[in-house]
Structures are given as C-alpha cells and as structure tokens.
Structure 1
C-alpha cells in the first residue's frame, strides 16, 4: 500500500513540475533558473526539444516555448523540418537565447550535442550578416521588410553581444570556438559596430539616434509593418547605445555616437506623462491611457519624426496621429508606444564619459605622434616620415576634416591591408611614383573563408570615405590565380584615381555603392575574369584595360533606373598573347549598363562582344553599347543583336558632366577636377 501511495505522490510531483514548467516563460527558464538546474533530468528533457527545434542551417524559429512537452508526432514533424529554410530568425531573441541555454547546459553536462548545436548557431549568425555589417530579421532572407537591417526588439544588439563575448574570449559562454571562428567573430563584431555608426541618423547634419530598421542597401530609416514607419526610435536606440558604451577603448567615432545619442535622449524625454491601465467595464479589455503628471518618471516615444523628433502613433492604416488616443483600441493596447529604456543610458552615461575620456588620454599617450602638419602626412617604411605604414596614417587622420588631408607615400612595397573608413573623408593618397609605390596584400576567397560573401573581404585597399583621391601608385592583390581576390574595393562617392595601376586576376576592381560615382583617369587595370565589377557609376578615361585570360572584362550590377553604369572613353583594350576570346562584359545583375566610346579594341575581343551570363531576360533589361571604337576587336556588324551601336545624338549624352555630375550639389559640382 505504501508503494502505491509513493508512486502516486511521485506522479503528482512530476505533473506539478511539468505544469509549472509550462506556465513559466521560455526566457525565464533560460535566465532565472539556478545553474544547478541545468544538470537536472527536467533540463535534459527541455534540451532535447531545443535540439529538435534547431534547423540544419544552425538557427531557430521564434516564439517557441521550448520547455513544453512534445508528442511523438510533433517530434517527427520537427525532424522533418530540419532541412527547411523558412522562418529562421534572430527576432524576439530567437537563436541567441537558445545558444545561451545550450551553453548553460554544457557547463553542467558536457554533452557534445550541446556544443555542436551552439557552434552551429554561431556559424548561422556569422553567415547571416550582410557585407555592410548589418543583419536581416530572417535568414535565409524572407521577402518584405524582414530583409531590412533589423534593430527592432534589439535583434542586432543580441547578436553583437554574443559575438562580443566570443571575440573577447570571456567565460560568459562555456563553449569555446576555434581560433578561426573567434577571429571571424571579431571581424563580424567590428563590421556590425561600423554598420551602427553608419546608420546613426543625421538630423540637420547632427547625429541623433536610430530607426528600428534601416534599408539594407541605402542604410536609411525604413518602414516595417503598416504602423512602423521610418522614424527615430526611443526604444531600440537605447540598447544600441548601451552596447557602444560597453566597448573598451572606444574609437573617436564611437565616442561621438554615444555623446550625440545622449544629447538626443535628453532632448526628447517626456517628463509629464504617465501610462495607466484601466479596466473597461463589462469586458476583459484593459485600456491604456496616458495621464498628465508633472512628477512622472521620464518616458520616450517609440516613434519620432525624422525631421524634428515629434512623437507620432499609427493604426494599421499607416496614417500618423498626434496622440495615442487617436488610434484604435486594438493597436493602442497591443503595442508598446512609449518606453523608459533610455533611462539606463542616462544613468550610466556620466561614468562612461569619465572613463572614456580617461581611456582616450591613456591611448593618446601610448601612441602619441606629433605631426608637423596634420593636413600633410608622410608615410615612409624606412622610418623617415610620420608613419611607417599607410594604415597608421589613416588611423591618425582627423575624422570629417575641415580641409583635405594629403598622405604622401614614399616609394616602397607596403604589404598591408588598408581601409579608409567612412569618417576618413577628403583624404588623398599621393604616391612618390606609380611604379615603385606599391600597396599589396594576398587575401582571396578561400583564404578568408567567411562564407558566400568572402569575395568582399579580400581587398588590399578598401575606400569608404567620400571625396577620396589617389595618384601615382599601384594597388595589387598578389594571391595569384586562386579565384576571387579583390585589389581595390571602392564603396564611397566622388572618388578619383589618377595615374594608378591595379594588378590582380579575378575581381581585381570592385566599385560598389548604389548611387556612388567614381572616376578613373590614365590608369592601368588588369585581370582575368570579371576584373571590373560592381554597381557604382564609373567613368574610365584614357585607361588601359588588360585581359590576362580568355574570359570577361566587366560584370556590372547597375541598379535599375540608374542612368549610367560603366563608361569607358578613349581607353585601350589589350591582352596577353595567349588571350584570344575575351568578352567586353556580362551582366552580374539584370540592369547592367556598360558603354565603350572611342576605345581601341585588340583582336582578343570576340566578334559577338557581349555575353548574357545565361540570363535571357538580361538581354532586354541590360544596356550594352559601343560608339566609334577602333581596332581588330571592334566588329559592330557581328555583335550580339541585343547590344547597341550608339548614334551621334545618343553619344552626346556621355559627357563627364552628365555622367558624374547628374546629382551633385552646388558645393560638389565638378568634384572630379579637384585632383589636378
């Protein structure tokens, strides 16, 4: 009899435990349970569910109460979904929170399944990152606003906090990745911070805060759901700033971002409103009412106008309203329109400011360099200049300077990977001589090994600062014929290269950035396949374009409705002796535009001239043309039928002013003449 009673008691205890587990939220289980609980049988059962819900790509779906028991049928369904690529996300804490759970499990029960699942999740986060440093809400990408860079509900901040712990090799996670993965995490974290700095919104040229989501191409504030319009976010911006404040030895750009955001939070706080929840008689509805209260704790609006920070509210019709009371009850009570999260920024800011200023002083003392002229910096690898490396000179240059900074580079072979950051505007690289001032590095796709976008990390020189000029130097990717390997990546506007040489093989020159304009004059560019590629508008004038193998010269990805893509004027197309079958170009993207005007074409250019990259639709959407070219390779009568030979009236549109000045402001007109 005693055995029967004991059995009943055990069943009751077990059922009570399961019921309590059901009632407790998944996030509470991860964050609130004592560490010893993760060694329990109960935790192991939950861990089985977590492993089942993880997809083969490494991520998890969202809003799953992982602790809830699964039936046999549900388990089989989850196994069948392992290869499914839909609805995998970092939204609402998904993936990052499951990784934390697995780490806590592994600390108590070193089961390799937990470790492997955690590392797979980390790989997923790294794969999902955009080249610009941001993350979409869903990966693989889901159509709609889900592809925007997503700060909403702190999604990207959660990811960056994971990467920060990994990169800094802290003990926060019990599972330790390989050194290679740690290095990838460092790169991804830095790119993410760079994305945050680039997306901080400028209001009348003053840095403010962030939108909940930013367009993944333009990086501007973007719309999500009908009631989530482009705006400045009082909520999401808070966690972004707290992340920036957590970075040790912050750069001047991070310090400026935090200081600006703090000022904005102070400016936009609401000090006379309090939210009340009022039951509606004879219903289950709890109404949300904003009450005037001079003694209320500060609040911030979730959405504020980009132009003047005025709070606004929207119903599902997307029409802005001035007050919360003006929208329907369903959205009024079913969404967080106000937040107090920035109060943590205001609380921590004084100490952060004091510490950051101290760290800046210490950093300056450690690397103090007295420049004779901060607008004229000399680089000499032999030690007879201000710096021995080009990157040191760039790092020491003033951000957003009041006048052009010239970095004079003495003759020598500089084996380094150089990045001109977005804040390094108005910088000039002037080499002592084109032949003997050489910047070289040897990264390539498989060496970088950062997934499908590895190409974009292989650059020797990356230019992100607008109004950049380079003269009299050589930029080389010396990795050899090993696949994609970029020598120069230009992702900036109003950039000039004059009397320069670009050496490489596949993907030598990448001109990126929708709407950006580049000018290459008197340059030599060589390569094998697609060695001039990208989406920028670029004019190549009096350049030599040299093919090293039978392949394709250009692979433009011109955006739709862009007037000009690649324009080659008075250029000379040459080739190695072995080369006999080269195409003028093929469309990387469907609206590619490439035009050759008054160019001398060697006999290596194929009679058909152009290739459609097996994209029949590109034959009608792309624009490939020539005008009054010469040489054995210019055979207009045998060109593919979907290419064009320009008429005189059409060719008149291809002036330097129309190509490069079409959207210039008064201050930037004829920017391409400033290199002289």
Structure 2
C-alpha cells in the first residue's frame, strides 16, 4: 500500500514538472458538448448526422445565441443559412471537423435550375445575422481534384451553349449574400484552389470578423465587400494575379483591415488588386520572400480613377529575408493598438 502511494506521488510530481517545462506547447483541451447544445455527429452519436438537419431543426429568429456542436468527422454537404439569427457552430477541433463539397462556379452556373450563386459554395449565408463559426475547416475541393487540362461542358445558360472549365476558376468555400452581416469566424480554415474562396459579399451592411483563420485559394481568394477585419490570419495564394480584393463602393467608410497576418504563395504571387472603390489597411503583416514586387493595384477592367482616391495603407509590414519593397514603407500614422474591431466597424459592432 505504501509503495502504491509512493508511486502515485512520483507520477504526480512528474506530471506537474512536465507541465511546467512544456510552456511552449500547452495542452489544448477540445470543447465538449453541453446539455443546451444540439450535437451533430457523422457517426450517429449525436442529435443529427448532418449539419443542415440541425440547422433546419431550429427556429430562424432568436434574441440570444443557440449552439450547434459538431463532432469530429467529414461532412460532405452544402450548408445553407437563410434568415437565421444568433447561431454558433462550434467544432470539436479545427482539423477534425471538415465540411466539404466539390463545385466549380462555371459548372454550377450552367444549370438553369440553379439560382445565381445560391448554393455554389460549401457554406452559403443569406439574410442572417450574428452567426459564429469556430474550430471548423471548410473546403471546396474541385480545383485540388480536377485535371490540369481544362474541360468543355454543355452549358444551356451560355450564349454559345458551351463552357470551358479550368481547375483554377472560381470556387467558393464561403459565399454570403444580401443581409448577411455580423459574421464571425475563429480558428477556421477555408480552402480552395481557385478564385474567390472567401466571398462575404454584402457591400452595404456587411460586417465580417476573421480571427486565427487560414485561407487558401487562387485569384482574389479573400475578397470581402463592405467591412471586414482579419486578425492573426494566414493566407496561402496559388495565383500570380492577386491574393486580396475589396469592394467598398457602397460606403466611403467601408474597409478591409488585416492585422498581424502572414502571407505565402506560389512564386511571384501579387498581394492584391481592386476593380471598384476600395480601402485597404495592412498592419504588422509579414510576407514570404516569393511575393512579387507589386503594390496593391487597380485592375485594368476596373471603373477608372476611384472617386475617393487610392486608399491603400501599410503600417509595420515586412517581407521575409529582410528585403522590403519600397511600397511596403509606412504611409499611415495611426498606432497599431488603436486598430480594433470598434475602429474597423465604425463603432457599430465589437465582436472582439
């Protein structure tokens, strides 16, 4: 008995010592469902086996948060949120919860039964407010799976009756529509190989907050309209045209702000561009040495000289390798600590 107690004491001391040593890699305890949550589990151990079934089971209107807890698993389904309020999707782990479809926007648009982009993305959100996604991976896998050789398909909606589809064409993991605002994404991954991976697109009232997220895609793969704030996010670009894009044409105060973000991509990837009125702020960002020597630029197909001027601002941004391009120099005097969600969203929303 004494030996057993002594062994237990030694094990306890070892565990405490190890915990005090491993300060660089603290243990992360995954969230667990509680009694007031709807549980989704692909293996049937929850209330529902699909996420959409769980969404359909709740009322659309609410004045406080409802939670759908998603257990680890791969969910091959499109998510539709239409007119939903105060709903949180909490994944068991970011790498363990995968929502995925394979869809090229060019193929989708050739089906006369499809209504514009509604359903083109893995996650589709319309007329919904106060939505939170955390610890979730969202993938549109078409470009990762498609052949390098473009294909030609029948396309009744095209004047020629045909459409050529490339593996790096538009593929959306997230697409939001009119009335979708106050959307929060924390510890989420969004992946596609083509353009417009993350497309939050209400330019009038849209407000979007991304924190500790990874976003991957092709041209304009992070392309918000309205107000958007990305904090501590990582961007991976598979295109040499542009990683970032913004449309702020509906309101002079609309802006896209990226703070403490990191960038990598294929050799020669460009940072960003705009076709419409826009406003970019990049603070404390770091770029890989493969980034091209090309400032955020006005696209040739744009609307000409912006009415509000060219608004691209940098503060304490650097390229890896210690060789900063001249256009990365500070051109903005505000202190980094001043940049928070209240500043970004003009005092209308504070998701932090």
- Which bracket does the TM-score occupy, shorter chain normalised? 0.7 to 0.9
**CA deviation map 1:242-295 (0-9, x unaligned):** xxxxxxxxxxxxxxxxxxxxxxxxxxxxxxxxxxxxxxxxxxxxxxxxxxxxxx
RMSD: 2.5
Distance in 2 (alpha carbons) for counterparts of 1:400 and 1:456: 21
SS state at 1:483 partner: coil
Is structure 2 residue 313 aligned with structure 1 residue 625?
yes
TM-score (norm 2): 0.74
Change (3 A) 1:592 1:650: farther
Is structure 2 residue 199 aligned with structure 1 residue 539?
no
**When the two structures are aligned, how many residues end up with a matched partner?**
286
Is structure 2 residue 125 aligned with structure 1 residue 463?
yes
Is structure 2 residue 106 aligned with structure 1 residue 446?
yes
Distance in 1 (alpha carbons) for counterparts of 2:64 and 2:119: 30
Q: Is residue 607–residue 635 contact of structure 1 (8 Å, CA) maintained in 2?
A: no
**CA deviation map 1:447-478 (0-9, x unaligned):** 21258995564110012320001110100101
SS state at 2:342 partner: helix
Cα deviation for residue 638 of structure 1 reads: 4.4
Q: Is residue 455–residue 485 contact of structure 1 (8 Å, CA) maintained in 2?
A: no
Q: Which has the larger radius of gyration?
A: 1
- Mapping of 1:185-584 within 5 angstroms? 375-422=36-83, 424-450=84-110, 454=116, 457-464=119-126, 465-480=128-143, 481-491=167-177, 492-505=180-193, 506-513=195-202, 514-575=204-265, 579-584=266-271
**CA deviation map 1:289-327 (0-9, x unaligned):** xxxxxxxxxxxxxxxxxxxxxxxxxxxxxxxxxxxxxxx
Q: Is residue 212–residue 231 contact of structure 2 (8 Å, CA) maintained in 1?
A: yes
Q: Is residue 583–residue 611 contact of structure 1 (8 Å, CA) maintained in 2?
A: no
Distance in 1 (alpha carbons) for counterparts of 2:175 and 2:125: 6
Q: Is residue 109–residue 117 contact of structure 2 (8 Å, CA) maintained in 1?
A: no
Cα deviation for residue 649 of structure 1 reads: 3.5
SS state at 1:433 partner: coil
**CA deviation map 1:420-467 (0-9, x unaligned):** 111x21101111111110000112222212589955641100123200
For structure 1, which segment, 500-509 or 482-491, has the greater mean C-alpha deviation from structure 2 after superposition?
482-491
Which residue, out of 591, 602, 609, partners 2:295? 609
Cα deviation for residue 397 of structure 1 reads: 1.1
Which residue number in structure 1 is paired with residue 274 of structure 2?
587
Q: Is residue 168–residue 218 contact of structure 2 (8 Å, CA) maintained in 1?
A: no
Change (3 A) 1:511 1:605: same
Which residue number in structure 2 is paired with residue 11 of structure 1?
none
Q: Is residue 40–residue 54 contact of structure 2 (8 Å, CA) maintained in 1?
A: yes
Of Structure 1 and Structure 2, the greater strand share is in 2
Give 5+ residue unaligned stretches, structure 1.
1-371, 665-669
Cα deviation for residue 607 of structure 1 reads: 1.7
Distance in 2 (alpha carbons) for counterparts of 1:560 and 1:448: 28
Q: Is residue 445–residue 454 contact of structure 1 (8 Å, CA) maintained in 2?
A: no
**CA deviation map 1:95-131 (0-9, x unaligned):** xxxxxxxxxxxxxxxxxxxxxxxxxxxxxxxxxxxxx
TM-score (norm 1): 0.40
Which residue number in structure 2 is paired with residue 600 of structure 1?
286
Change (3 A) 1:494 1:456: same
| Bigger relative contact order (CA 8 A; separation at least 6) | 2
Q: Is residue 587–residue 622 contact of structure 1 (8 Å, CA) maintained in 2?
A: no
Which residue number in structure 2 is paired with residue 637 of structure 1?
326
Distance in 2 (alpha carbons) for counterparts of 1:594 and 1:456: 28
Is structure 2 residue 318 aligned with structure 1 residue 655?
no
SS state at 2:271 partner: strand
Of Structure 1 and Structure 2, the greater helix share is in 1
Change (3 A) 1:524 1:446: same
Give 5+ residue unaligned stretches, structure 2.
1-33, 144-166
SS state at 1:496 partner: strand
